[in-house]
Amino acid sequence: MRKLFVLKTIGFFEEAGRIVILFVNTLIWTFRPPLNLKNIVLQMEYVGINSFFVVFIMSIFIGMVFALQSFSGFQKFHAEAFVGTIVALAMVRELGPVFSGLMVSGRVGAAMAAELGTMKVTEQIDALNTLATNPIKYLVVPRFLASLFVMPILIIFSDIVGIIGGYLVSVYILDQNSEVYKKRTWDYMELEDIYIGLIKACVFGVIIAIVSCHQGFHTMGGAEGVGKATTRAVVQSSLLILISNYFITALLF
Amino acid sequence: MPRDDPKDLHPDGMIVIRDLFKSFGENRVLQGLNLDVKRGEDMVVIGRSGSGKSVLIKCIIGLIKPDRGSIYINGEDIVPFKEKNLNEMRKKFGMLFQFGALFDSMPVWENVGFGLKQHTELKNDEIRDIVKEKLKMVGLDGVDDLMPSELSGGMKKRVSLARAIAMEPEILLYDEPTTGLDPIMADVINELIIRLREKLKVTSIAITHDMVSAYKIANRIAMLYQGKIIEVGTPDEIRNSNNDVVQQFIQGRSEGPITRGK
């Protein structure tokens, strides 16, 4: 039992170490020309454009339900007018970044791990090496840059859609005054709220790309291995997103 | 102890391997392997599945780092090489993978032209011309724009072979070139390997357990057993070997020294 615990602990640190090493190597290769623009654009399209629809649906419903819930709570002490404030702050500070991060890790992280994992087990990554091409440069850097640049855009989009969702429910279903709602939305919003949301977006983007690519690179066995790698990529990146989210909030707000 | 100059070890040795060791955990795969491959010859390494043939070939091209030992390519030991030097060295190599290992996200022509695209300044049109020529060399025509998933097993291998020769390598490595193919397609691949050797003057190492193929393509055959090369010789010498292990393997008998006590 104790031996198993020790082994698991060593395994954990080994994996964490490998992820950090991959991150450092990715940074090094990012700054080594040339950049493969075609691959970066392809990945941005994949990470970004194809995620907009799911993020839209997700955000509008989060904004809507949050308005509904906070209205029924605030009503008890006649503070309904602050629904707009709480929806906007919650969306921009936490809900937008975290939920988008989780959604993208499930959608894009899983796909990255599965694609790279399949390439690993079918020797395509070995083939890249034999063609004198570094797999980190060719495969990880474009995914890393795409996630890094697209996540902030996705999260701003998510914030806006969530706020609109809250507005729609408050004004058209709960009969709040439209002007008051808008004013309350903007009155308490500070620039800091937005840029911390963006910092979170970048960090989450990095986590998703690096963790998923790492899992892909270390896939063993056939189809089963690819399945396991995909699951691990989503679980690890989701947990890391939630954990890092707490620390960013604690340090920066 | 001063290291022998590999040029003295074998004056025309293109690839000289000395005391190669590689273990994976408890599993000792290569245990002091020695092998000399002469310039322009086709060396076929035979051995059972799991005997370490693939590990050997992956050590030669730097995909796996050996625990100990030396691999001299053109007189230069590549084992201590770092990434940058390894990649320079790899440009001299072409490798045919067992299942082709074609990049399934890109069409045939981009697969074949991958090395050219990455390492030369050639324009797409020029690359396509070279690709066409290489595909013709492996007997394929009009498949340039197909995706790998649309190809049969034999075609995949030939496209992979075209990719391996696209950069005009000095050394070709074949990982089980005929495994998984029907006998006719296997022979097509064998003929191709011979033709490429004659036409491109490449040195090649093939690993296989297909004896038909080994006899056909080899200038010399080496038998890998228990992590070492136990016998090297021309196909005739191997066929007439006095070694019981070699005889059991080439005749494909289930009874014999290899399987005794297992």
B131 pLDDT band (50/70/90 cuts)?
Answer: very high
Identify the pLDDT of residue A209.
95
Q: Using CA atoms of B183, B111, A220, B229 in order, give the dihedral in degrees to the nearest 10.
A: 50
Say how far apart CA B251 and CA B260 lie, in whole Å: 16
Tokens 């393997």: give the residue: B249
Q: Tell me which H or E stretch contains A207.
A: helix A191-217
Distance from CA of A123 to the nearest CA of B (A): 5
| Interface contact flag, A131 B83, Cβ < 8 Å | no
Two structure tokens written together for A27: 């940074």
CB B53 within 8 A of CB B207: yes
β B228-233/B68-73 pair status: unpaired
Tens of each residue's pLDDT in chain A, 253 residues: 788 888 888 888 888 999 999 999 999 998 887 778 888 888 888 888 888 999 999 999 999 999 999 998 888 888 888 888 889 999 999 999 999 999 999 999 999 999 999 999 999 999 999 999 999 999 999 999 999 999 999 999 999 999 999 999 989 988 888 888 888 888 888 888 888 999 999 999 999 999 999 999 999 988 899 999 999 999 999 999 999 999 999 998 7
| Interface contact flag, B99 A129, Cβ < 8 Å | no
CB A104 within 8 A of CB A154: yes
Long-range contacts of B183-187 (CB under 8 A, 24+ apart): B183/B212, B185/B153, B185/B154, B185/B157, B186/B210, B186/B212, B186/B213, B187/B216
- Cα B158 versus chain centre, distance: 14
| Interface contact flag, A130 B99, Cβ < 8 Å | no
Say how far apart CA B136 and CA B142 lie, in whole Å: 9
Per-residue pLDDT reduced to its tens digit, A148-203: 999 999 999 999 999 999 999 989 988 888 888 888 888 888 888 888 999 999 99
| Interface contact flag, B115 A126, Cβ < 8 Å | no
Two structure tokens written together for B48: 């059972």
Residues of B in contact with A128 (CB under 8 A): 103
Residues of A with CB under 8 A from a CB of B: 115, 118-119, 122-124, 126-134
Torsions phi, psi for B15 (to 5 deg): -125, 120
β B13-24/B93-96 pair status: unpaired
Neighbours of B5 (CB within 10 A): 9
ipTM for the predicted complex: 0.87
CB A141 within 8 A of CB A29: yes
Per-residue pLDDT reduced to its tens digit, B25-81: 888 999 999 999 998 899 999 988 888 888 999 999 999 999 999 999 988 898 998
Count of A-B CB contacts under 8 Å = 54
Residues of B in contact with A127 (CB under 8 A): 95, 97, 101-103, 163
Which residue from A minimizes the CA distance to B87? A132
Query: HSE-up of A208 (CA within 13 Å, CB side)?
Result: 32
| Interface contact flag, A124 B103, Cβ < 8 Å | yes
